[in-house]
Amino acid sequence: MNTTNPLKKSVTFFEALAIVVGMIIGSGIFLKPGIVLNNAGTPWMSILAWGIGGIITLASALSVAEIAAAIPKSGGLYTYLGELYGGVFGYLLGWVQAVISYPASVAALAIAFATYSGYFLPLNGWQQKLLAVSILAFILIMNVIATKFGGIIQTVATVGKLIPVVGIVGVGLFSNLAPGFGGIEASAAGAGFGVAVLGTLWAYDGWISVTNMAGEIKDPAKTLPKVISIGVIFVIAVYVLFNVAVFKALPYDQIISSPTPGADAAEALFGSGGGAFITAGIIVSVLGALNGYLMTAARVPQAMGENNQIPFSRVLRSVHPKFQTPANALIFQSVLAVIYIFSGTFNTLTDLLVFVLWIFFTMGVFGVFILRKRMPPEKGRYRVPLYPVTPIIGVAGGIYILASTIISDPLRSLVGIGITLAGLPVYYVLSRQKR
């Protein structure tokens, strides 16, 4: 492997946009409406919760986009935190993402793909794991051969996953059913609205990962702000319209009680084939998210390798001499994901680290204030609109998530912090070696 070849700038505007949309829209859009509705109390309050969650996400995205425009380097938030707060903060995020968070998420998505595939082809536990590893191997090979192939898969999967969403929205909005909007009184649990907003914020997660690939995006300083902004605004519209369609298709009680309200809405609108239609859409949706996560995940250990902040840095930072892709980093993430698939620990690990990741996300949004002091915006460079209101909204949303998580599950929050700090000895050993 060549350690000096730069990564090829092969990711186009539309492929980057597909990464943003494809990583946000996973299976949550089909499964979350009932949970959010139950907490919000009424359909209209539920829709408001999705809108507020989207505004917080958009404010965060617009803020980080200014940093991405000023520091258009691979590694995304890992790189930004290192530049703005110091190497140790960037390292701790990179440690969590490269060793645990990203590969565990890849493992969870691979298992989700196999689980939903069981709707059409019944599989036992071991068969599901083998199918999960097989689809992961296919995605890995495509991304090693060419980042372009990963981009094509992402674009096709994103378009494919939108077909069932567009179908439900298109038919549901113009249907005359409207059972979910009729005569519903507010829930007695008024405090549930905050929990509802929290639930939507998890569904909006994933937008920031496209910044990991800044070094491979054509004209990243201009492209990243556009794809992040357009992608998040598009997803907000999709989420709100999808929920309106579900509320028009299903009664209030059924939406709350059903674990799969999206599939139920499809069946109500399209008949018995609706469930299969939505399940196929979820499979395509999960495939796109899996490809997006693996594609962007590898760029973190690759960037850490360039800074000698991870064991075997020379291997992980190397670029394939023929394909000009971070092949070793892709393989590294995939091997960890396979271990998590067979150990069954992926859900536990991702749950433990949600709190920690939002600490870093909030620091990233706040980083725009630090950036403005150090690097005043140049003429023509992207600047976050309505500054400083926009980043304040993003930071407030992040603090809200952190406070809610500490209150609801303090032990899990502390364990997540402990896992993160466990990377410090490695950081100091590698720092001494560099000196």
Q: State the average pLDDT for the chain.
A: 84
pLDDT at position 6: 58
Quick check: 224 pLDDT over 70? Answer: yes
Does residue 84 carry a pLDDT above 90? yes
182-265-20-107 Cα dihedral, nearest 10 degrees? 130
Confidence at residue 412, expressed as pLDDT on a 0 to 100 scale: 83
Which residue type sits at 241?
L
Structure confidence by residue, pLDDT tens digits, 190-216: 347 777 887 787 778 778 877 777 777
Give pLDDT, residue 83. Answer: 93
Whether the pLDDT of residue 5 is over 50: the answer is no
Q: What is the dihedral of CA 122, 127, 128, 133, to 10 degrees?
A: -140
Report residue 37 as tokens: 């509705």
pLDDT band at 280 (very low <50, low <70, confident <90, very high): confident
Residue with tokens 């140790």: 88
Which pLDDT score is estimated for 370?
A: 95
**Could you tell me where the DSSP H helices lie in 25-76?**
28-31, 33-40, 43-70
- Tell me if residue 36 falls in helix, strand or coil: helix
Closest listed residue to residue 21, CA positions, set 52, 70, 49, 61 = 61
Kindly list the distances between the CA atom of residue 58 and the CA atoms of 92, 195, 242, 255, 404, in Å, as whole numbers in the listed order: 25, 19, 18, 27, 20
Rounded Cα–Cα distance for residues 156 and 364 (Å): 30
Find where tokens 């380097």 sit. Answer: 73
Domain range summary for the chain, segments of one domain joined by +: 13-434
Average pLDDT score over residue span 166-183: 70
C-alpha closest to that of 353 among 202, 174, 180, 166: 202
Q: Which of 124-138, 160-174, 190-204, 246-260 has the lowest mean pLDDT?
A: 190-204
**Contact criterion met (CB below 8 Å) for 198 and 38:** no
Q: How far apart are CA 205 and CA 199, in angstroms?
A: 11
Q: What is the pLDDT of residues 35-73, one digit of tens each?
A: 888 888 888 889 999 999 999 999 998 899 899 888 888
For residues 294-317, give the mean pLDDT. 89
What are 374-421's pLDDT values in tens digits?
Answer: 887 777 788 898 999 999 999 999 898 888 888 878 888 898 899 899
Mean pLDDT of 95-116: 89
The reported pLDDT for the residue numbered 352 is: 75
What pLDDT is recorded for position 418?
92
- 56-72: burial string, b at 16+ Cβ within 10 Å, e else: bbbbbbbbbbbbbbbbb
CA distance linking residue 109 with residue 103, whole number of Å? 10
pLDDT at 358 exceeding the cut of 60: yes
pTM value? 0.82
Q: Is the per-residue pLDDT at 186 higher than 60?
A: no
Q: What is the pLDDT of residue 344?
A: 83
Contact status, residue 150 vs residue 298, Cβ threshold 8 Å: no
Cα separations in angstroms, 176 against 50, 180, 228, 253, 318: 23, 11, 36, 18, 58
Report the share of the chain in percent with pLDDT over 70: 93
- Do the Cβ atoms of 106 and 293 come closer than 8 Å? yes
* Residue 180 reports pLDDT greater than 90: no
Residue 200's identity, in one-letter code, is T
Is pLDDT above 70 for 182?
A: no
Which pLDDT band, with edges at 50, 70 and 90, does 269 fall under? Answer: confident
Q: Give SS3 for 319.
A: strand
Pick the CATH number of 13-434 from 1.10.1060.10, 1.10.3720.10, 1.20.1740.10, 3.30.565.10: 1.20.1740.10
The rounded distance, in Å, linking the Cα atoms of 243 and 246 is 5
pLDDT at 179: 59
Average pLDDT in the 341-350 region? 81
pLDDT at 138: 95
CB contact set of 376 (below 8 Å; sequence gap of 6+): none
